[in-house]
Amino acid sequence: MNDGTVTFLEPTLYQRGIGIAVGIVLIVLTLQLIQKFHLKEEHGLPWLIGGAVLILLSASMPLLRAFTRALGAGAPATALFAGCIIFLLIQNLLFSRALSRQTHQTQCLAIEVALLREEMHAPLSLNKTETIPNRTEEQRLS
């Protein structure tokens, strides 16, 4: 008889260890990329948080059960997988926004460069008259 409680298939110690290991690798790799200036801190922070959350959920069964219930998933592994997909969707949205902003900045810079080049190569205006001092023959020879 079903009393309305949901029972979850608990992940094995091996599965939890894999989750913790992946979280640690994600954090270490992100920190190395930030340290070598291949990844900006502002872009690395979500990856660090994601790795920490993965470690936390993999290490703590009560948190993983609560997360599974919150998502309405049938198993903790499914909840972690769904959480990873949600995380990646959010990351994709953030990177798309940053890419759009950089595209706009690049277009503005290209326009500015084109205007500066045009200004640089434009013929001198007739209103601008440069006076060249007349030098005498003696000044040129000395």
pLDDT given at position 140: 53
> Using one digit for the tens of pLDDT, what is the confidence trace for 120-142?
887 765 455 555 555 555 555 55
DSSP 3-state assignment of 124? coil
Q: Does residue 70 or residue 139 have the better pLDDT?
A: 70
Q: Which residue has the higher pLDDT, 47 or 10?
A: 47
Helix, strand, coil percentages in the chain from 3-state DSSP, rounded to 5: 75, 0, 25
pTM over 0.85, yes/no: no
Span 24-52, average pLDDT: 95
